[in-house]
Amino acid sequence: MKRKLISAVLTGLLSISLITPSMAAEKQSLQDEIIYDLLVDRYFNKVIQNDSKVNSVDSTAFNGGDFAGLSSEMQYLKDMGFTALSVGPIFSSATYDGKEVLDYEELEPSFGTEEEWQEVIAKAHELEMKIIVDIPTQRISNNHVWRASNPGWFTENEDGTVSLDTSIPEVQNKLIERFSSFVTEFEVDGIRLQTTDELDPSFIDRFSKSMKDIRSMYILSDGAMDSVSGLDAVVLPGIEEALRNSYKNFDPDSSVPSDYWAEAKGNLTQVDSLLSSRFTSDVIEERGFPPTRWNLLMFQLLTMPGTPVIQYGSEIAVNGAAAPDSHPILDMGVGEELIDHITNLTSLRNESEALRTGEMEILHDEEGWLVYKRSDEKDTWIIAINNSSSTKNFAIPADVIGSGKEMRGLFENDIIRENDEGKYQLTLDREVGEAFTIIEQRGLNKGYIAALVVLYVTFMIFLWFAWRKGKKRPMTEKKKL
């Protein structure tokens, strides 16, 4: 209900004053994406014929999710506003998460056939979403097919897995050759290198160039690290902890340090990953209420600079301190309120370039009461997040957004106009977020009055015709008699 209301208001507002041709233009930059991170095995089990390895009551085993399930339930992700799907590793593997790769030339049989994988890519492109695939090269299976003929390429790990030594030129060549064929055959839009911080930088650079020679695509790191040549983005170091500490409870001791705001641009921003514990587990430890915590966190994540990466199941506040507990099979259709909230925020972000790549200015940041401005030459937003235990106020000076404007809140539907002191007085209840769009007060009133006049005139004409028709009717009726 609220989702419909907000998109209706939003569509109306954008069509009145905000939308410009360039906003509707083709999205091309990584900064325009909102990424949903999932595991094929834990998304949706559509086909039971490929379930020979599956044991759905053992969380450490394959649970049955497959390519066909991803295709058939992909609209759910489109509806939620995601623009790119990171689907994890898809190569034949000893483990459900695809990490312990056995053979890069074969797709994991439990996930499905090459045709079904092609359908995933086709479906995503039909829905105008991108597909990003993970490539693990470290801690892969000790039964990997390359091992017998090239034992020197591998190093052994304590946990019984092996890692490819990416500093060896032959290893680099072999991986580049293999994945050049892969991206030629399957039109994926990006590759995320797993355990990127353990790879040889010269390999990352060569690999990236080779893939981009074939087709323009994103090459990403799966973790926080200093950026190296060849990577389009890394997870911003420290962002997970900063976001978690700011939102796991109200009245936080710390907020996201201001330097993160500037550094987030061009990086991946996330609160957790499929390798870490879920944010929900922090909330439960603090005895917080997960839906409210997620609600406020999403407000910041989806209105701040950077490319948001959201783990599957966050929309239903999935819990778990570590894998495999943090990797349950997705239960769609529960937690509708949070899904609606995410949808509202992603639609704001997708519609407004200012929220994706605009300037970022913190206006107020004190004990969980955060007010900031996102703007470019076309749009201005004021984002207010009250993550404290009391109602908060903040007066925005007129020079921040200009005089004679109207701040229109899209979630709580409040309108703020400039007061006699030349300020916009903002008040927000505890544990609530709001996004204000800025509108010309006078311009809108003019439009409103014009609309009223048109409505009035139309109504008078209608009355006149009705009156004429009414006058005529008795005569025609008389004739009939």
Cβ at position 69, least distance to Ca ion in Å: 7
List C-alpha distances in Å: 219 to 193, 239, 269, 353: 7, 20, 16, 23
Buried-exposed string 264-282: b where 16+ CB fall within 10 A, e elsewhere: bbbbbbbbbbbebbbbbbb
Rounded Cα distance between 426 and 54, Å, is: 54
Q: CB of 103: closest distance to Ca ion in angstroms?
A: 20
Scanning 1-9, 47-55, 121-129, 423-431 for contacts with Ca ion by CB under 5 A, the matching segment is 47-55
How would you classify residue 309: left for phi > 0, otherwise alpha for psi between -120 and 50, otherwise beta?
beta
Nearer to Ca ion, 66 or 189 (CB): 66
Give the footprint of Ca ion on residues 49-68 (CB under 5 A). 50-51, 64, 66
380 counts as binding Ca ion under rule CB under 5 A: no
Query: Cβ 49 to Ca ion, closest distance in Å?
Result: 8
Token duo for residue 382: 């004021």
- The minimum distance between CB 61 and Ca ion, in angstroms, equals 13
The residues near 310 (Cβ < 8 Å, ≥ 6 apart) are: 34, 35, 36, 37, 82, 270, 301, 342
Q: Which of 234, 242, 227, 257 is nearest to 306 (CA)?
A: 234
The count of chain residues that interact with Ca ion, using the rule CB under 5 A, is 6
Which 3 state secondary structure label does DSSP give 250?
Answer: coil
CB-based contact 389:250 (threshold 8 Å): yes
Applying CB under 5 A, which part among 38-46, 241-249, 333-341, 416-424 lies near Ca ion? 38-46
Backbone angles phi, psi at 139, to 5 degrees: 55, 45
Rounded to whole angstroms, the Cα distance separating 327 from 319 reads 9
- Nearer to Ca ion by Cβ, of 46 and 349: the residue is 46
Query: Strand, helix or coil at 305?
Result: coil
d(CA 420, CA 375): 25
Among candidates 230, 186, 234, which has minimal Cα distance to 87? 186
Kindly tell me which of 43 and 82 has the beta carbon lying closer to Ca ion: 43
**Residue 366 DSSP code:** E
User: What's the min distance (Å) between Cβ of 54 and Ca ion?
Assistant: 6
Residue placing its CB nearer to Ca ion in the complex, 88 or 305: 88
Answer for the pair 52, 108: CB distance below 8 angstroms, yes or no.
no
Report the nearest approach of Ca ion to the CB of residue 93 (Å): 15
Stretch that binds Ca ion, among 41-49, 203-211, 254-262, 340-348 (CB under 5 A): 41-49
- 47 belongs to the binding site for Ca ion (CB under 5 A): yes
Across the chain, how many H-helices and E-strands are there? 14, 20
Binding residue for Ca ion (CB under 5 A) from 14, 33, 45, 327?
A: 45
Shortest CB 187 distance to Ca ion, Å: 24
Smallest gap from residue 111 Cβ to Ca ion (A): 8
Of 72 and 227, which CB lies nearer to Ca ion in the complex structure? Answer: 72
Query: How far apart, in whole angstroms, are the C-alpha atoms of residue 305 and residue 389?
Result: 26
Is residue 71 within the footprint of Ca ion (CB under 5 A)? no
Least Å distance, CB 113 to Ca ion, is 12
CB of 67 to Ca ion, least distance (A): 9
CB of 236 to Ca ion, least distance (A): 35
Phi and psi for 348 in degrees, rounded to 5? -60, -50
Question: Which two tokens mark 101?
Answer: 């790769």
Residues that bind Ca ion (CB under 5 A): 45, 47, 50-51, 64, 66
